[in-house]
């Protein structure tokens, strides 16, 4: 047993929660003294909301405003709301959030809640409600995807989520085990979580730098059920770990994060790919996804579970059928090592290589944040109301890098970096 483990083994749950809040504010968000904070969370994450609020004020926040979602109230709409109401979203609130970001606020989202909240509701209503939110949220989301502001996402264990990860355990044990897994993946069980995060972040930057030196024009993914060639955008940039937002603050947008990622070319993906983990999409679990691409577009989408929601998702707009992100994660990442299926993208995407349908990150292109939408499109960056990651990596996955001259480099074998 190492000194670090000895030291942290005696930490109480409250102390670990406090450490998670500390790294979220200091390392994940990189809150600036005198900066406002807008937080979103479901009610069942309230203990973490309060610890993060405390650390935000300790680090000089002018004001922390938390938009708390009551999931029971969300369900009441499906139970009693008029059918016509589902095309409606609170544009005033999303526009307000965009105004907050424009006036200097940082953004922190707590992932938690019930991943299957809407699984019993009519997929048609869920799809319309999500589509209305996507449209209303777009102005605010653009400020985030363009990294105009510092932002981060952290996770809190919730009873409903824990039950999906540990279906055979009693509720209290499942919740405790999910918290342990979150604390471990978020490096809060180490002697100095802030220092551990700084070192991990430097490692991800080294990997991204290496990929940027190679300048591959495409990646080739091969595994059982997958034979996919993903063309990369012209002038693509690999990113990993933290980054300087346009407002000058250094943030690590996801906690945990294990990925290096870039922007595919929206017209240059060919072949088929099979998901290796379920996707929780706004309340529905989509499993066994199998998708075929032609000229960058999804031309066929099947799923063993949630196929209707999947097809609604990719019908949101034209860009919803094209890739906006490709990411590489070794199968030996700490989250993959836990052996757990988290049923949560923030974790599962950091346990496996993945792709995302929808909006591309302009920050994954050279000088991307200074380019016009037309210039971005010309380089191959995709445009959509959605951005949905799903996992394709596994211990069987081989990945090759292909240069413009046709040279093939093995990048990953059996899920590990070569």
Nearest approach, Cβ of residue 315 and a copy of itself (Å) = 22
DSSP H helices in 243-350: 307-313, 334-337, 345-348
Q: Which of residues 2-41 bind a copy of itself (CB under 8 A)?
A: 33-34, 36
Q: In what order do the strands lie in the sheet with 297-302?
A: 297-302, 290-294, 264-274, 226-232, 218-223, 398-402, 408-413, 416-417
Which two structure tokens, joined as six digits, stand for 149? 């502001």
Name which position in 27, 61, 286, 335 contacts a copy of itself (CB under 8 A).
Answer: 61
Nearest approach, Cβ of residue 94 and a copy of itself (Å) = 8
Name which position in 10, 103, 213, 372 contacts a copy of itself (CB under 8 A).
Answer: 103
Name which position in 4, 63, 191, 194 contacts a copy of itself (CB under 8 A).
Answer: 63
Q: Is 66 in the site for a copy of itself (CB under 8 A)?
A: yes
d(CA 270, CA 314): 17
| Alpha-carbon distances, residue 229 vs 68, 184, 267, 272, 323 (angstroms) | 41, 34, 11, 9, 12
Binding mask 218-247 for a copy of itself (x = CB under 8 A): ------------------------------
Which residues have a Cβ under 8 Å from the Cβ of 82 and sit 6 or more positions away? none
Q: Which of residues 67-96 bind a copy of itself (CB under 8 A)?
A: 67-68, 70, 72-73, 76-77, 79-82, 84-85, 88-93, 95-96
Nearest approach, Cβ of residue 226 and a copy of itself (Å) = 40
Per 3-state DSSP, the chain is made up of helix, strand and coil in percentages (nearest 5) of: 40, 25, 35
d(CA 297, CA 299): 6
Largest distance between two CA atoms of the chain? 60
Q: Which lies closer to a copy of itself via its Cβ, residue 77 or residue 205?
A: 77
SS3 label, residue 276 = coil
Select from 49, 291, 15, 76 the least CA-distant residue to 154.
49
Binding mask 39-58 for a copy of itself (x = CB under 8 A): ----x--x--xx--xx--xx
Nearest approach, Cβ of residue 97 and a copy of itself (Å) = 7
Q: Angle at the Cα of 207 (from 202 to 210), degrees rounded to 5?
A: 125
Name which position in 62, 315, 337, 367 contacts a copy of itself (CB under 8 A).
Answer: 62
- Binding-site size, a copy of itself (CB under 8 A): 44
Binding mask 105-144 for a copy of itself (x = CB under 8 A): x---------------------------------------
Residues binding a copy of itself (CB under 8 A):
33-34, 36, 43, 46, 49-50, 53-54, 57-58, 60-68, 70, 72-73, 76-77, 79-82, 84-85, 88-93, 95-97, 99-100, 103, 105
């Amino acid at each position: 047993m190492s000194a670090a483990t000895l030291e942290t083994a005696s930490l109480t749950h409250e102390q670990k929660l406090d450490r998670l809040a500390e790294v979220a504010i200091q390392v994940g968000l990189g809150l600036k003294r005198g900066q406002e904070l807008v937080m979103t969370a479901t009610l069942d994450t309230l203990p973490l909301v309060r610890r993060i609020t405390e650390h935000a004020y300790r680090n000089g926040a002018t004001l922390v405003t938390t938009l708390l979602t009551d999931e029971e109230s969300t369900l009441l709409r499906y139970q009693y709301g008029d059918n016509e109401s589902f095309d409606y979203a609170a544009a005033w609130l999303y526009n307000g959030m965009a105004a907050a970001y424009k006036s200097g606020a940082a953004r922190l989202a707590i992932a938690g809640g019930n991943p299957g909240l809407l699984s019993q509701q009519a997929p048609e209503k869920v799809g319309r409600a999500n589509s209305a939110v996507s449209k209303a949220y777009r102005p605010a989301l653009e400020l985030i995807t363009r990294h105009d502001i510092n932002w981060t996402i952290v996770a809190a264990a919730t009873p409903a989520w824990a039950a999906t990860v540990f279906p055979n355990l009693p509720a209290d044990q499942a919740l405790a085990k999910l918290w342990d897994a979150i604390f471990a993946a978020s490096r809060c069980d180490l002697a100095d979580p802030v220092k551990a995060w700084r070192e991990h972040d430097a490692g991800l930057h080294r990997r991204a730098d290496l990929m940027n030196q190679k300048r591959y024009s495409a990646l080739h993914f091969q595994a059982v059920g997958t034979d996919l060639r993903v063309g990369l955008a012209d002038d693509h940039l690999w990113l990993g770990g933290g980054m300087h937002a346009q407002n000058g603050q250094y943030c690590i947008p996801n906690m945990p994060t294990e990925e290096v990622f870039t922007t595919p070319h929206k017209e240059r993906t060919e072949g088929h790919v099979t998901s290796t983990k379920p996707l929780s999409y706004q309340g529905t679990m989509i499993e066994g996804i199998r998708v075929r691409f032609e000229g960058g577009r999804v031309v066929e989408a099947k799923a063993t579970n949630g196929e209707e929601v999947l097809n609604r998702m990719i019908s949101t707009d034209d860009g919803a059928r094209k890739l906006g992100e490709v990411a590489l994660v070794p199968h030996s990442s700490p989250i993959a090592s836990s052996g757990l299926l988290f049923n949560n993208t923030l974790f599962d995407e950091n346990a496996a290589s993945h792709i995302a349908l929808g909006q591309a990150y302009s920050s994954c292109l050279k000088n991307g944040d200074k380019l016009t939408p037309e210039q971005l499109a010309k380089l191959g960056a995709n445009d959509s109301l959605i951005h949905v990651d799903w996992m394709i990596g596994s211990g069987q996955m081989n990945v090759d890098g292909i240069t413009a001259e046709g040279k093939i480099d093995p990048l990953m074998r059996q899920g590990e970096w070569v």
